[in-house]
Amino acid sequence: MSLLNRLSICSKLCYAIGGAPYQITGSALGFFLQIYLLDVAQIDAFYASIILFVGRAWDGITDPTVGFLVSRSPWTRFGRMLPWIVLSTPLAVICYFLIFYVPPFEDGKVVWYLFFYCAFQTLQTCFHVPYSALTMFISSEQAERDSATAYRMTIEVLGAVLGTAIQGQIVGMANAPCIPGQCLTVYANIKFTVCLTCRFVVSLQKTAYMIASGVICLVYILCAIVLFFGVREQKEFCRVGSEPISFFQGIKLVMGHGPYVKLVIGFLFTSLAFMLLEGNFALFCTYTLGFRNDFQNILLVIMFSATLAIPFWQWFLTRFGKKTAAYCGTLTAVPSMIVVVVFKSNLIMTYFVSFFAGMGVASAYLMSWSMLPDVVDDFKLENPKSTGHEAIFYSFYVFFSKFSSGISLGISTLSLHFAGYITRGCSQPEAVNITLRVLVSFAPIALMIIGLVVLYFYPIDEKRRQRNRERLREQWEMEDSETDSAELAAII
């Protein structure tokens, strides 16, 4: 391995820190946006499901669009990916903050949240798609990219822990009381019966969400600064692409590569499973298990466990292969999902099974992004004259991930609406509890099984991956030799 291709630990850390904003905001939105819209902003469950689904669907549409635009972007002295990251950051943090601000009007609240949610998703896409594609431009060596990806996944899971901790602990200090029935203190001079205590605490909770979002926005900016100044986008690996292609040609290009399609479909189902678990776990802990004041700590245990498990899964994939690691990691979470819904509610047991569930979450984070560069390398070898399309592959990969998230959030919130969800109620109808049990256990398990069946047919095993690595290295050496010969001839 040449020194040019070798990455320093500092470079890997700076690159990894750039992945934190996506996970910090993603975990905060994934775990808390649904319960925030229902219980704090007090949006009807039906309209909340529309906001969540449309926002994620819009986010999915922007991914391939941004990926196409990034692939057509010219090279600058800062690189081709980094300018997208820097320019999108300020507007993204503004939109994120306004998502957790309750406007002083009722009629337009649904439009408010839908607009800023979609705007934030678009701007975050302008950050995350170039950042994801940057993996291919920090080194040409698979081993170095895999190592950088492991650093990235560790920091991203830490980012998810940080987002869960910031949002959960700050908001948890201002938990609004549930409404058991009629309020005790009544305003006599207004139209509706209002509990003064409830109004006061809900006001504190609104403030807590704003403080938490402000802290997350600050961390988002700091991470973007570290990425920009700490990572050098290697022009040597950012080769001149083939002739520009249209958007639909780009779709045909990526969807025509069999290993990519199998990988995307497999992780589409497993991602959908984990998204269902993530999006409904706060409500499940609050209402079904009855841990209203502890759910933020339970979420923290899951993410902390995932952080600890990343190095283990990185060792596991290097020892037994990525495909085997994907199977074992996904199946690790299944027993926890069964235990938490079958046995009687117990706080200690819930913490225990949450710790093991975090190991499955870690595998889902690491495996999907660790296997994607292998598919891109495989495509390069099969299509040596079609280059410069890395951003398209990554953008469609992100698109399917977010598409699964939108489906999970929309369907689950709509299911709660039809089950009779009561906003800020101390208890929920039995139909709601049954729905939550299905959404955090039985449905995710079924989706995981489907995803693993698809991954069984994924053709890039360790033998093929190693063969591709050797062929790419020979290709690089040949091209470097041709370049040197051309330069020598020009001098003569």
**What number is the average pLDDT over the span 62-74?**
78
Q: What pLDDT, on the 0 to 100 scale, is given for residue 198? A: 54
pLDDT at residue 98 in the model: 93
Closest CA to 82 of 200, 231, 210: 231
Confidence of residue 188 (pLDDT cuts 50, 70, 90): very low
- Asked whether the beta carbons of 461 and 323 are under 8 A apart, the reply is yes
Task: Kindly give, in sequence order, each residue whose CB lies less than 8 Å from that of residue 280, ignoring residues fewer than 6 positions away.
Answer: 34, 412, 436, 439, 440
Residue 135 has pLDDT above 90, yes or no: no
* Distance, CA of 420 to CA of 422 (rounded, Å): 6
195 versus 232: the higher-pLDDT residue is 232
**CB crowding 56-85: b at 16 or more within 10 Å, else e:** bbbbbbbbbebbbbbbbeeeeeebbbbbbb
Contact yes or no for 375/260 (Cβ under 8 A): yes
Percentage of the chain with pLDDT > 90?
10
Fold for the domain defined by 246-460: Growth Hormone; Chain: A; (1.20.1250)
Residue 265 CB: number of other CB atoms within 10 A? 16
Pick the more confident residue, 426 or 417: 417
pLDDT score recorded for residue 228: 87
Is the per-residue pLDDT at 489 higher than 70? no
Tell me the angle at which helices 109-133 and 82-99 cross, rounded to the nearest 10 degrees: 160
* pLDDT tens by residue, 29-63: 877 888 888 878 888 888 888 888 788 778 777 87
Residue 424 Rama label (left phi>0; alpha psi -120 to 50; beta) = left
∠ CA 85-81-252, nearest 5°, is 115
The 10s digit of each residue's pLDDT in 272-292 is 888 788 778 778 887 888 777
Q: Which helix (H) or strand (E) holds 448?
A: helix 443-456
Tokens 């006001």, located at residue: 203
What mean pLDDT is predicted for residues 295-314?
80
Rounded CA separation 128/134 (Å): 10
Tell me the mean pLDDT in the region 452-462: 89
328-363 pLDDT tens trace: 888 888 888 888 788 777 788 888 888 888 888 788
| Most confidently modeled range among 30-39, 169-178, 288-297 | 30-39
Note whether 238 and 74 are within 8 A (CB).
Answer: no
Q: Is 70 exceeded by the pLDDT of residue 238? A: no
- Region 414-433: what's the mean pLDDT? 79
Helices (H) and strands (E) in the chain, counts: 17, 0
Residue 396's nearest CA partner among 404, 386, 407 is: 404
User: Who contacts 463 (Cβ-Cβ below 8 Å, separation ≥6)?
Assistant: none
For 146, other C-beta atoms within 10 Å of its C-beta total 19
Residue 149 has pLDDT above 60, yes or no: yes
363 or 84, higher pLDDT: 84
CA 390 – CA 438 distance, rounded (Å): 38
d(CA 44, CA 36): 11
Q: Tell me the domain boundaries of the chain.
A: 8-180+195-233, 246-460
Class level of CATH domain 8-180+195-233: mainly alpha
Spatial separation of the C-alpha atoms in residues 30 and 302, rounded to whole Å: 14
Q: Is the pLDDT of residue 260 over 70?
A: yes
List the beta bridge partners of residue 179.
425
The per-residue pLDDT for range 384-405, each reduced to its tens digit, is 766 666 667 777 777 777 677 6
pLDDT at 329: 87
CA proximity to 379, closest of 352, 397, 366, 353: 397
Q: Which amino acid, 138?
A: I
Higher pLDDT, 68 or 202: 68
DSSP for residue 177: P
Percent of the chain with pLDDT over 70: 82
Instruction: Provide mean pLDDT across the span 464-469.
Output: 83
Q: What's the pLDDT score for residue 194?
A: 43
Which band of pLDDT confidence, cut at 50, 70 and 90, is reported for residue 3? Answer: very low
pLDDT, mean of residues 139-168: 78
pLDDT for residue 112 is more than 90? yes
Is the pLDDT at 237 greater than 70? The verdict is: no
- Note the Cα 345 to chain centre separation in Å: 29
Q: Is the pLDDT of residue 81 over 50?
A: yes
51 with 36: CB under 8 angstroms? no
Confidence of residue 246 (pLDDT cuts 50, 70, 90): low
Residue located via tokens 């998230």: 405
| Average pLDDT for 126-131 | 86
Tell me how many degrees the CA angle 246-248-254 measures, rounded to the nearest 5: 105
Q: What is the pLDDT of residue 193?
A: 41
pLDDT at site 296: 73
Query: Could you report how far apart the first and last alpha carbons of the chain are, in Å?
Result: 31
**pLDDT attached to residue 115:** 94
Axis crossing angle, helix 45-71 with helix 109-133, rounded to the nearest 10? 30
Give the C-alpha separation, 202 to 31, whole Å: 19
pLDDT at 113: 93
| Residue 302 CB contacts under 8 Å (≥ 6 apart), including other chains | 164, 281, 354, 355, 357, 358, 361
H or E stretch at 289: none
Query: Could you give the residue ranges of the DSSP H alpha helices within 284-321?
Result: 295-320
- pLDDT bin (cut points 50, 70, 90) of residue 425 is low
Q: What is the pLDDT of residues 468-484, one digit of tens each?
A: 888 877 776 666 555 55
Q: DSSP per residue over 34-68, as a string? A: HHHHHHTS---HHHHHHHHHHHHHHHHHHHHHHHH
> For residue 240, what pLDDT is reported?
46
Q: Beta-carbon neighbour count of residue 484 at 10 Å?
A: 10
DSSP 8-state assignment for residue 286: I
